[in-house]
Structure 1
Amino acid sequence: MEEVVEGTEMKKLARFSSCRGVAFEINPNRPNPFAIGSPPSPPKHQDRIGPHHWLWLPWTRTTSFKVVPRSNHVVSPCRSRPSSHFCDIDIDMDDDVEIEILAEVNDLETSPEKGNYNNNNGVLKAQTKSNTKKSRLSVILLDQGFTMYKFLFLVCLCLNIFALFLSVSGYFHYGKNRATLFSIGNILALTLCRSEATLRLIFWVVVKTLGRPSVPLKIKTFATSFLQSLGGIHSGCGVSSIAWLVYSIILTLKNKQQSSPTIMAFAFGILTLISLSSLAAFPLVRHLHHNLFERTHRFAGWIALILLWLFLFFFISYDPTSKTYTMSLSKIIKSQEYWFTLAITILIITPWLTVRKVEVKVSAASSHASVIKFEGGVKAGLLGRISPSPLSEWHAFGIISDGINEHMMLAGAVGDFTKSLISNPPTHLWVRTMHFAGLPYLINLYQRVVLVATGSGICVFLSFLLQPCPANVFLVWVAKDIEVNYGKEIVEFVGRHCKEKVIVHDTAISGRPNVGEMSVNAAIRWDAQVVIVTSNPQGSRDVVRACKRARIPAFGPIWDS
């Protein structure tokens, strides 16, 4: 451990950020951000008494201890081994478009301007260089192993490729004759996987049918993994729709007499827009240029949908014999392509019908985060979207609510929008009144759950502490300068829960713990069925892997939650 020289001018903090809007800073109390600090030791007269030992509960900036019975599995953060990720960070859950429980960590810049703490032995410099070796894309695609997300992606892609192969080979005449229908069908499937109304209904049905104590735990964990990874179906169907559309265009080019230049122009326009949208969604582009991804995905998709309607009307009404267009409503209604396109349109329009401009109250305990309050209670586990300008950007946040009078969102000051909430608090914001379900909602599936949060990740769990919940929940929260950064109100919300079911670790007081070890010990101690974690990608993976090694089911946010 390197000593901090008093009087040394504080250097600029190294700051990590992500295109998903999550940022955090290295603990300023240590010159080397990778160094592991030791928490203060308890007073000698409180060191160990009989069959008890002390559990560090830093609720405030002053020393606070709690006596708990001695156990092999009692969590003691101050004695845990160092973690491989930053656990004394503040995970600001300000996402640009996805739910606020996912962050992608930028490589640490090595220049002094970027906050390089270059010490005498060059420890940080060496570790920084090792960090940059692993690219963001490799972390996303390779570091997580073969996940359910990748499995679903491959299943969708392989099924479509197999059907496409049979069509090309002449063994599947329906596919050859209706290639356009298969392309539109895939677009319908990927739209369903992203429809907030549809997913809300699916999550509700799953919780109601599988949330009973009699349902085996393996079925519940499989359902959780599947629902969390529906993005794999979305991506697989997106690539497959392009393949089918290309095949349809090739067949049309071989039989030019059966089509017209206008129809071909619409087809090529749709193909270009869908391909552009898919390229913008590629992980590396999506994370480095998230605003580009969001707007390309939205506006390219809308224009492609308009072109699809025009394509259908012209394609269905075209008479290749007379080279004319004869519009027939009965003929259009009988077309399967029409009904698929109508369903896609309804699914896309529905969320926008719930957009409202509402009055909000914004307050900030510090320059670190703001609290946005809205009228009306919201059920635990749901998430919401807000926007200063609905056509340009949307930000999703976990919702904190008692389920009765009001609900609020905790927004870390990371991007321009979230910083403006502190510097220039708005009186009104655009919201989608249709709240959507995600991984936190599936806590209702289980009977005993350990909730693990770092930093602002606590926001997605607080409603379960404030409202009656089918599950018996236990909380482990690791954050820095808790009351200073998040305010007394957030601390009071956590304090309302039974103290025997809460562990709060303030890293500014206790140092950096091994959150994975804490999570495993907490799950064993509380006999939990499952662990749900919200942290940055590396932190979430550490917790999930630690729990799985201990054969404890665990789930955390994935890159495309």
Structure 2
Amino acid sequence: MHEFAYIYLQNLPTYTTLSLLIPSSNHHSKIIKKKNKQQEAMDQRFSSCRGVSFEIQPHRDPFAIDAPRASQKSWLPWGSSKRIVPSGSVFSRSTSKASSHFCDVDTDNEDDDDSVLINIEEGYELDNNSLLPISNSVHEQLPKAPSKKLVLKQNKPKESRLSVILLDQGLFTVYKRLFMVCMTLNITGLVLAATGQFPYARNHATVFSIGNLLALTLCRSEAFLRIVFWLAVKVLGHSWVPLHLKTATTSLLQSLGGIHSSCGVSSVMWLTYSLILTLKDRDNTSNLIIAVASTILSLLCLSSLAAFPLVRHLHHNVFERTHRFAGWTGLILLWAFIVLTESYDPNTDTYKKDIGSRLVKSQEFWLTLAVTILIIIPWVTVRRVAVEVSAPSGHASIIRFAGGVKPGILGRISPSPMSEWHAFGIISDGKKEHMMLAGAVGDFTKSLVSNPPSHLWVRQVHFAGLPYLVNMYNRVLVVATGSGICVFLSFLLQRGPAEVCLLWVAKGIEQNFGKEIKEWVSGHPEDRVIVHDTAVMGRPNVSEMSVAAAKKWGAEVVIVTSNPEGSRDVVDACKSKGIPAFGPIWDS
């Protein structure tokens, strides 16, 4: 009798077995019955692993949602990870955390009865109930104690987003190497000038300071970089060009921010040195010139401090406005400084009016003129244009503009051009219109959903970034999560020089992104477009999926657009398998 009862209990569902073994109240019985119904419905098509559901036999249509799924209750202030899985073969959950990055879109209408709360922000899992969902096999087993590895993972301290951005991307990245090379050259020149071994630099310290300002402006000039990226694709975008030369160029163009930031610090050093020399020779200058130079130095220091990673990360609007207005004020004062120094006569302690010929011969004049032109160019193209904003869901909006755009191009929009600008990838078929897909994660992007504007400010000169360099290669795997898909959709709508395979992970494709985008990505062969809807198939390991898809596609390079953690994981996984990979970097 006891043996029969034991066998009977062995073949009962886990929650039923527990209900027989553990005394409970009527309330608990209702909960257990509810769990049993959910378990029976899910066992036909789903397996569960610590509260995350994975489809055992995925639909041929990755967008179909015709079976109940395990409900989830999570602490997701920013949104859950979006992952793509080829052939449904990868079932492990990604180690990447979700973020407030624009590529993350999530929904809020999750059920409240799941047994595990996944605290993505903190990077560990919190058990809400001692009962874990267990697959309904022939011999059910009670939950085992967590392994040491899992305990260590759960007790892992919170990983700072800033540490991921600055440290986890590597101590010897191309960005940091460019920073150090540029800084070393400037420090070497400064030391030689101070020791009297570089007389030209000693006598023209201001020229070196303005020269660094010109270099940093070029590294951020969208018009100049559009030409540079176009030339790179035209010159290197041939099949006979060695792959290592293409990837080296991609790394360099992606990391120009290292030169920008290094030149900013170097300009402060050279101007400080110039001011020290001026103070030592006060008899040949005026107090007004010293005051203007000191103010310019103060503004450069302020801009550099505002761009310090910690400040920029925590207070981006402060950084952006300080950088802009301090830069403009410093440029105006720089013109005043040049005019004053060229017109000042130390013999009479007066300022001459006829200085045109002297200005033309001044190196400082031409360098400052070049900086001024580069800064003005994007602003003369600013226009207020009519837009059509639609919101497929409360988590994303689609902004439509007139005019077609080439693939891989990005644009900037603003509700108030003097205060803030936001960059988005552009979706276009190259004909009559183009669109931007904006995930609602910040004040501005949320306002696009809640209060759609009829007009927005735009810069008519669009700029090129990392996605544009897809055109340089022959076969490319592009990986996107959430609304990061927008920058790659144009490669599906327009045939380019590169053969592109898209790997996209998002949650609730049609619900969050609309029927139009769903149709765009579903109208292609499965070997070219792989879509993973986490609402149906759960959260996969994007890194493993990317490696598998890259090998299957025969990709020369992988380009990913995700949050910093997700991009880092994909890039590292691909590189470990010998596949060149690139993703967004800090200050790229």
| TM-score > 0.5 by shorter chain | yes
The answer to whether the Cα contact below 8 Å between 2:164 and 2:564 also exists between their aligned partners in 1 is no
Which range moved further: 123-132 or 525-534? 123-132
* Matches of 2:221 and 2:304, distance apart in 1: 17
TM-score by length of 2: 0.80
Q: 1:75 to 1:118 in 2, by over 3 A?
A: closer
Q: SS in structure 2 opposite 1:183? A: helix
What residue number does 1:59 align with? 63
One-letter amino acid of the structure 2 residue matched with residue 197 of structure 1: A
C-alpha deviation, 1:62, in angstroms: 3.2
Q: SS in structure 1 opposite 2:271? A: helix
1:238 matched to 2:264: yes
* Matches of 2:186 and 2:535, distance apart in 1: 53
1:233-272 aligned at under 5 Å gives the runs 233-272=259-298
**Which residue, out of 206, 211, 235, partners 2:232?**
206
1:480-491 aligned at under 5 Å gives the runs 480-491=507-518
One-letter amino acid of the structure 2 residue matched with residue 135 of structure 1: S
Q: 1:294 to 1:7 in 2, by over 3 A?
A: farther
What residue number does 1:167 align with? 193
Q: SS in structure 1 opposite 2:167? A: helix
**Which residue, out of 531, 537, 544, partners 1:510?**
537
C-alpha deviation, 1:498, in angstroms: 3.0
What residue number does 2:348 align with? 322
C-alpha deviation, 1:504, in angstroms: 0.5
* Matches of 1:158 and 1:278, distance apart in 2: 18
* Matches of 2:489 and 2:100, distance apart in 1: 17
Which range moved further: 315-324 or 334-343? 315-324
One-letter amino acid of the structure 1 residue matched with residue 186 of structure 2: N
**Which residue, out of 497, 514, 524, partners 2:551?**
524
What residue number does 2:178 align with? 152
What residue number does 2:312 align with? 286
One-letter amino acid of the structure 1 residue matched with residue 287 of structure 2: P
* Matches of 2:127 and 2:92, distance apart in 1: 25
The answer to whether the Cα contact below 8 Å between 2:387 and 2:400 also exists between their aligned partners in 1 is yes
One-letter amino acid of the structure 1 residue matched with residue 63 of structure 2: W
**Alignment RMSD (CA, Å):** 2.7
The answer to whether the Cα contact below 8 Å between 2:216 and 2:261 also exists between their aligned partners in 1 is yes
Q: SS in structure 2 opposite 1:403? A: coil
One-letter amino acid of the structure 1 residue matched with residue 121 of structure 2: L
Q: Deviations over 1:8-58 (max 9, x none)?
A: 9xxxxxxxxxxxxxxxxxxxxxxxx9956241322xxxxxxxxxxx78752
Larger Rg: 2
Q: SS in structure 2 opposite 1:499? A: coil
Q: 1:118 to 1:291 in 2, by over 3 A?
A: farther
Q: 1:163 to 1:522 in 2, by over 3 A?
A: same
1:432 matched to 2:462: no
One-letter amino acid of the structure 2 residue matched with residue 58 of structure 1: P
C-alpha deviation, 1:75, in angstroms: 3.4
Q: Which runs of 5+ in 2 are unaligned?
A: 1-13, 16-27, 33-47, 68-84, 105-118, 131-144
What residue number does 1:108 align with? 121
Q: SS in structure 2 opposite 1:307? A: helix
What residue number does 2:128 align with? 119
What residue number does 2:217 align with? 191
C-alpha deviation, 1:125, in angstroms: 11
Q: 1:128 to 1:285 in 2, by over 3 A?
A: farther
One-letter amino acid of the structure 2 residue matched with residue 291 of structure 1: N
C-alpha deviation, 1:494, in angstroms: 1.0
Q: SS in structure 1 opposite 2:188? A: helix
1:376-391 aligned at under 5 Å gives the runs 376-391=403-418
1:443-462 aligned at under 5 Å gives the runs 443-462=470-489
1:344 matched to 2:371: yes
The answer to whether the Cα contact below 8 Å between 1:108 and 1:131 also exists between their aligned partners in 2 is no
What residue number does 1:420 align with? 447
What residue number does 1:466 align with? 493
C-alpha deviation, 1:358, in angstroms: 0.5
What residue number does 1:140 align with? 165
Q: Deviations over 1:373-405 (max 9, x none)?
A: 001000000000011111111111000000001
* Matches of 1:60 and 1:371, distance apart in 2: 23
The answer to whether the Cα contact below 8 Å between 1:90 and 1:480 also exists between their aligned partners in 2 is no
What residue number does 1:220 align with? 246
Q: Which runs of 5+ in 1 are unaligned?
A: 9-32, 43-53, 64-73, 95-105
C-alpha deviation, 1:443, in angstroms: 0.2
What residue number does 1:92 align with? 102
One-letter amino acid of the structure 2 residue matched with residue 414 of structure 1: V
Which runs of 4 or more aligned residues in structure 1 lie more than 6 Å from their structure 2 counterparts after TM superposition?
5-8, 121-126
* Matches of 1:476 and 1:57, distance apart in 2: 15
Q: SS in structure 2 opposite 1:358? A: strand
One-letter amino acid of the structure 1 residue matched with residue 235 of structure 2: T
* Matches of 2:185 and 2:65, distance apart in 1: 57
1:371 matched to 2:418: no
C-alpha deviation, 1:79, in angstroms: 3.1
Q: SS in structure 1 opposite 2:231? A: helix
Q: Deviations over 1:73-132 (max 9, x none)?
A: x93445343321147x895349xxxxxxxxxxx99369xxxx995636799998676342
What residue number does 1:496 align with? 523
Q: 1:417 to 1:183 in 2, by over 3 A?
A: same
